[in-house]
Structure formats: structure tokens, C-alpha cells
Structure 1
Amino acid sequence: MIEMVQGINNMEINNIVSRIIQNFPAKEIFLFGSYAYGNPHADSDIDLCIITNQDGRKIDLLKQARRVISPVANKAVDIVIYNENEFYTRANLDTTFEFQIKNKGIKLYEKS
């Protein structure tokens, strides 16, 4: 069962997340950066962290994710992709980028 976590009213972000859910093996998706922290401006990109257990090289997974979102993304989208174990191992260290994403970002999606 796939369940989208609500709380973001931005239609473009919702469209991008929906495309990812339908076309990419995402376990979780976090929004981070200016949109998550409430201070986006006209030139802000959309920062997404995708957690997956899909095997493959990160660069190939990133290319796949970019192809998936390109039909609906009107703004620049910055994507980081992690294997679940890698992300949560690093997210437990309070000096890491992953810690910031996990604790300050907004979880938009979690596969149940």
C-alpha cells in the first residue's frame, strides 16, 4: 500500500512526488532546503531526497529519477538518492547532511 503524507500545498511538488511514486522504486521521499524550511524565493530549486532499496549505480538511479520527473517539473529540482541503510546510518550522526534532511526536512512519502 502506498500512502502520500500530506502537508505540502504546492501543486508542482505534489505532481513531482506523484510521478516518482508511480515510476520509481522509492521507499521514502523527503523535501529539504528552502521549500521545507519555509523560505523559498522565485529562484529556489526543489530539493528532494529519495530513499530506495533499488540496486544499481547512484548515477544511473539519478538519471532514471530525472527522466521520471522531467515532464512535470517546471522549476529546477535537485535530487539526492540513497540506499536506505546508507541514509539511516549517516542520519544518526548529528554532523551529517543526512541528519539535517531527516530532522529538518519534511517526509512527503513513505511506502507502507
Structure 2
Amino acid sequence: MEMVINMVSKCAPNIVLVCHTKDSAIADSDVTVKGIDLAGKSGRVLSSRSDAIGFLYRDDDSNTILSFNTGDKYVECGARPKHLRNKDVVLGEMQKDGEIIFHWERIFPSLSK
């Protein structure tokens, strides 16, 4: 896994990986946590090498939200960059005509230059 990540990271300055989540129960409690669904230690290796881990969902208005909010105790996510840390970023805005306008510059500020 590390070898593949190292090879891919040389291809572009910004890499976005999309993963499925799994629910993990916390011992002796009724709490479950969503984490990256990878075999063995691969999820932890990927997490440690990542600058940000977000949870993607749609809100009640069908906007696409990428959450880096560590305050949500049920999701393993967070971010090292200050502009993402503990934020819920509206990545895609649903328009009245059904079109979605994406704002990747909110994740990668260098795109707005």
C-alpha cells in the first residue's frame, strides 16, 4: 500500500483518494465510529500519510459537504491544513435547475490563482 501511495503521489501535487467507510464499535459502549474500510493496517497507514481526511455527504438542500470536523465523535476525520481544520466545506452547491457547481478551490486554494 505504501509503495502504491508513493508512486501515485509523484504524479500530481494534489491527490484525492475516495474510500468506503466501515462502522467500528467501541468496546464497552454503544458508540460506533466510521473509519476507512481497508484490510489490516492499511487504513491506519493511509490515514497517517494523509494531510486531510473528510467525510462526504449531502445536506438537506442536496449540497455536497466535505466535513473535516473532528468534533463529530462518530467519524474519523480531520485535517492538517488550517483552512480545512474542523470545517464543513460546501464542495458542491445544488442549483435550482439541478446543476451542481463545485468549488474545489475551497479545498485546494492554489486553484483560485
* Length-normalised TM-score, structure 2: 0.26
Q: Judging by fraction of residues, say which structure has more helix.
A: 1
Greater Rg by CA? 2
Higher RCO (C-alpha 8 Å, min separation 6):
1
